[in-house]
Amino acid sequence: MLKGTWVLPRRALGRLATERLQPQLRLLVALSLVLAIAAIGARFPWAPPARVTDFSPAFALMWLIGGACAVGAAWQAKYHRFAALAMLGGAGLVTCLTFAWLSAPDLAVTQLLVEVVTTVLLLLGLRWLPQRRAGLPEDNLASARRRRIRDLVMAVAGGSGIALVAHSVMTRPLVPNVGDWFLANAYYEGGGTNVVNVILVDFRAFDTFGEIAVLAIVGLTVYSLLRRFRPAPESVDQPNQQQATSQQALDDYLMVPSVIMLWMFPVLIMVAAYFFFRGHDLPGGGFAAGVTMAIAFLLQYLATNVRWVEARLTILPIRWMGIGLLIAAGTGMGSWIFGYPFLSAHARYVSIPLIGDVPAATAMLFDLGVFALVVGATVLMLIAIAHQSLRAARLREQDDAAPAAKEIR
Amino acid sequence: MEIVLSLAIGVLSASGIWLILRPRSFQVIVGLCLLSYAVNLFIFSMGRLTLSAPAIMPKGGFVDPTRYADPLPQALVLTAIVISFATTALFLVVMIASRGFTGTDHVDGREREQP
């Protein structure tokens, strides 16, 4: 009896456990497929669609491109990472257009901005991966081919299952739900006409508070992981593309775009402010504004180089994050003074000379915290990765300097 | 529209699932991005599709909720977009750090041993 308590688990462990990621993920996908089929397979409502919006050829054409991009990215991600990245961006853009098409302007704006930052992030990461020009020899083994066919079957099964479920839900009529309450009360209770933003910063502010905390934690984790980062030896050298060209050509590289990017800095700050202030009433808000501001900083780095920017601009992203979190938490705790629960918001209009009546909600202050934190976290992550190239350059300089120093001695 | 969007969700998630089962970490990261598009669109579509009626209310007056897009899935997806950016960044950094430590870009940190 006692022996069974450890023999059985150990046997199960030997059979199921593995330290390799792929079998685990495969098990996960297979299990969710089986469970989904078991749960809804027999009772799947094969009724004809009850609610259909008009078919639009342009929308179908758009997704023909989007789908081709997705499949292309899946196909090319092993040997042509850059192409895969471009196609991933294509799929993301089509997703963004879909949000705009289907009356979700807030999502479209945020998706577009996040898309820009994600692409820059992945491009920065590409440099540290091993070069892969020719096919790996083990790709042509029969076992590898079998694995690929099995994965393809699983992917197609999973994709068609999700498509089927999505279609059957989308074509049912919508039952009255909590969303109706949000729509009816956003202006009276939250003081804003953009319901999505009012939900984020007022009705469900606690959720958003947790989310920005997650963002802050991720930013700090990325920063601290990269402080102890050792690049792979063959990635330390200057990239091939830079080795072949002369120093003169490198200095003048993309001269005109870089001047334009430098001049865009104030304009982008303006756009961020615009997104921020209209957020409560029209599409925009703290997230979109924060990512826009981060892109403004990022463009400065792209246009010149790390040393140039940091000689002229002190950004201190960790301080931005701290201040953002403090503003958000402080706004939340402010409602305790008036005897309301954490993060209760208050909205009213105040009149400012020359401008007139402007809405002033405490939710706006909370949104300011969100804005500052998003700027800080995004810039921190991107700069931490960008600095790795600087460190690699410094390593190179040290290597070059070491023999020279010996000769002098 | 519904059939196009559900097919799109299907294609995105099939490409995503295929990629996360691959052995190279860059493939997995692209796969996770594609899966997050698929899941975001899926959650968004739970509010049904509404054309040209964003959830921007008039100032005052009676509001008929059936005339506007459902704001709740949109709010959920908005947070999901930002969080998925954060997880992508974290994964990317773990990927390049592990590449620096182990010298390979295999997801397990070592190449599959040949039988």
Q: Which range, of A87-91, A299-303, B6-10, averages the lowest pLDDT?
A: A299-303
pLDDT of B2 reads 86
Please state, in angstroms and rounded to a whole number, the distance separating the CA atoms of residues A213 and A289: 18
Residue A401 φ then ψ, to 5°: -75, -30
- At which residue do the structure tokens 């699983």 appear? A154
Q: Which site among B9, B17, B68 would you substitute to test the A interface, given the most A Cβ atoms closer than 10 Å to its Cβ? A: B17
Q: Does B57 touch chain A (CB under 8 A)?
A: yes
Q: In terms of pLDDT, which residue wins out, A388 or B21? A: B21
Residue B7's CB is within 10 A of a number of other CB atoms, namely 19
Neighbours of A250 (CB within 10 A): 11
Q: Do the beta carbons of residue B84 and residue B36 sit within 8 Å?
A: yes
Residue A95 lies in a domain: no
Q: Which of A397, A322, A377 is nearest to A117 (CA)?
A: A377
Q: A78: pLDDT confidence band, cut at 50, 70 and 90?
A: confident
Which residue of A lies nearest to B7 if distances are taken between CA atoms?
Answer: A163
Question: Of chain B residues 86-115, which have a CB less than 8 A from chain A?
Answer: 86-90, 92-97, 99-101, 103-105, 107-108, 112, 114-115
CA-CA distance, A23 to B112, in Å (whole number)? 12
pLDDT at position B115:
47
For A4-34, the pLDDT digits (tens) are: 777 888 877 777 777 788 888 888 899 999 9
Q: Of the candidates B28, B59, B92, which has its C-beta nearest A121's C-beta? A: B92
- C-alpha torsion sign, points A254, A259, A261, A262: positive
Candidates B48, B52, B58; nearest CB to A51? B48
- Give pLDDT, residue A246: 67
Q: Which of A106, A178, A214 sits opposite B78 (nearest CB)?
A: A106
Residue % of chain A over a pLDDT of 70: 87
Contact by Cβ (8 Å): A297, A266? no
E strand intervals along B17-104 = none
The domain in which residue A345 lies consists of 194-409
Inform me whether the C-beta atom of residue A184 falls under 8 Å from chain B C-beta atoms. yes
The first and second tokens of residue A326, run together, are 């403090």
- Enumerate the domain spans of chain B: 2-49+70-102
Q: What is the pLDDT of residue A343?
A: 72
A340 versus A219: which is more confidently predicted? Answer: A219
Give the tokens for residue A47.
Answer: 């009724």
Contact A170 B82 (CB under 8 A): no
Q: At residue A85, does pLDDT exceed 90? A: yes
Band of pLDDT at residue A360, cut at 50, 70 and 90:
low
- Cα-based angle A310, B93, A88 (whole degrees, multiple of 5): 100
- Whether A241 has a pLDDT exceeding 80, the answer reads no
Residue A158: pLDDT band with limits 50, 70, 90: very high
pLDDT digits (tens, 9 = 90+) for A105-138: 999 999 999 999 999 889 888 888 877 766 666 6
Whether residue A84 lies within 8 A of chain B, CB to CB, comes out as: yes
Q: What is the pLDDT of residue A311?
A: 82
Consecutive H or E run containing A287 = helix A286-303
Query: In angstroms, what separates the C-alpha of A60 from chain B's closest C-alpha?
Result: 6
Asked if residue A259 lies in contact with residue A340, where contact means CB atoms within 8 angstroms, the answer is no
- Strands of chain B (E only): list them: none
Measured CA to CA, the distance from residue A207 to residue B80 in angstroms comes to: 11
Is the pLDDT at B65 greater than 70? The verdict is yes
Contact A159 B85 (CB under 8 A): no
Q: Give exposure, A160-192, as e/b (b: 16+ Cβ within 10 Å).
A: bbbbbbbbbbbbeebeeeebbebbbebbeebbb
| Domain count within chain A | 1
The band of B57, judged by pLDDT with boundaries at 50, 70 and 90, is confident
| B51 vs A140, more confident | B51
Mutate which: B42, B72, B98, vs A, most A CBs within 10 A: B72
Q: How far apart are CA A224 and CA A217, in angstroms?
A: 11
Interface membership of B44 toward A (CB under 8 Å): yes
DSSP codes of every residue in A365-402: HHHHHHHHHHHHHHHHHHHHHHHHHHHHHHHHHHHHHH
Q: Does residue A260 register a pLDDT over 80?
A: yes
pLDDT band for position A96 (cuts 50, 70, 90): very high
Two tokens, residue A279: 């957020």
The answer on pLDDT for A49 being more than 60 is: yes
A237-241 long-range Cβ contacts below 8 angstroms, 24+ apart = A237/A396, A238/A393, A238/A396, A239/A127
Q: Rounded mean pLDDT of A49-77?
A: 89
Q: For position A9, what pLDDT does the model report?
A: 80
Question: What pLDDT, in 10s, does the model give residues A269-291?
Answer: 999 999 998 887 888 888 999 99
Q: Output the pLDDT for position A310.
A: 82
Residue A242 has pLDDT above 80, yes or no: no
Nearest residue, CB atoms, B49 vs list A67, A92, A170: A170
Q: Which pLDDT band holds residue A239 (cuts at 50, 70, 90)? A: low
Tell me: pLDDT of A150 over 50.
Answer: yes
Q: Residue A47's CB: how many other CB atoms inside 10 A? A: 9
Residues 6+ apart with CB under 8 A from A313: A297, A300
The pLDDT of residue A333 is 85
Partners of residue B96 in chain A, C-beta under 8 Å: 125, 128-129, 229, 231, 385, 388
Does residue A145 sit within a domain? no
Q: How confident is the model at residue B98, as a pLDDT?
A: 84
pLDDT band at residue B61, thresholds of 50, 70 and 90? low
Q: If pLDDT is split at 50, 70 and 90, which confidence band does B55 have?
A: confident
**Contact yes or no for A284/A106 (Cβ under 8 A):** yes
What is the pLDDT at residue A45? 73
Within-domain flag for A9: no
Return the pLDDT at A67. Answer: 94
Are A166 and B15 in contact (CB < 8 Å)? no
Q: Which chain A residues in 200-229 lie under 8 Å from chain B, judged by CB atoms? A: 200, 204, 207-208, 211, 214-215, 218-219, 221-222, 225-226, 229
Assigned architecture for domain B2-49+70-102: Orthogonal Bundle (1.10)
Q: Compare CB distances from B13 to A158, A196, A225 and report the shortest one's residue.
A: A158
DSSP string, A42-85: TT---PPPS--PPP-HHHHHHHHHHHHHHHHHHHHTTT-HHHHH
Give the pLDDT mean for A98-104.
91
Using the Cβ of A149 and the Cβ atoms of chain B, whether some distance falls under 8 Å is answered with no
